[in-house]
Amino acid sequence: MGLDMYLFAAPKIEGLELKEICWSNANLTTLKKEKSELYFKIKDYVKHFEEFEFKWESLFTEVIYWRKANHIHHWFVQNVQGGIDDNLALTEVKKVQIVELYQHCHSILKDKSKAINLLPTMYGPFFGSLEYDSIYFDETERTLNTLKEVLEDPFFENNYLLYQSSW
């Protein structure tokens, strides 16, 4: 129980909009079973995963997972979700937004006094600590490092980026 947050990569597939890709991912098993025309359009993008003896297929790839990093969640709520904390919604994140979050993380790690203004903590049900402590700064650094990789790669040419939280 608590705040779980994800950034997912979804492939850009010619002829499909993001909404159709998300719908296809949610209905992947049915599309595959029915051998639908849409399935044959997306099948080369389907990835196979296995963890703890559990197997699944998805069009999405996890870029980063956070647990109770409420300051990062707060930033996404304010800057990507229009101020609405929409539990379980998948929301597209644009490159310009990732650049902004990256810059905030970088600034905070250079000057920790900027944390409260750039990435304030957020209260919520089981959202974790509101302190600006080592966990806060460790999560900020981990976020910075992951976003740096995303921004250095031609990631956005081939993928959409999606944010999702669960609490």
Please check whether residue 159 is in contact with residue 138, taking contact to mean a CB–CB distance below 8 angstroms.
Answer: no
pLDDT of 124 strictly over 90: no
pLDDT for the residue 125: 83
Mean pLDDT in residue range 137-166? 96
| Rounded Cα gap, residues 155 and 25, in angstroms | 19
pLDDT for the residue 121: 97
Confidence class for position 35, pLDDT limits 50, 70, 90: very high
Confidence class for position 1, pLDDT limits 50, 70, 90: confident
The dihedral sign for the CA sequence 55, 160, 11, 29: positive
| Rounded Cα gap, residues 42 and 48, in angstroms | 13
Tell me the percentage of the chain whose pLDDT exceeds 90: 93
pLDDT for the residue 105: 98
Mean pLDDT in residue range 45-50? 96
Q: Is 154 helix (H, G, I), strand (E, B) or coil?
A: coil
pTM, rounded to two decimals: 0.93
Closest to 127 measured CA to CA, from 76, 166, 83: 166
pLDDT for the residue 153: 85
pLDDT for the residue 126: 85
pLDDT of 97 strictly over 80: yes
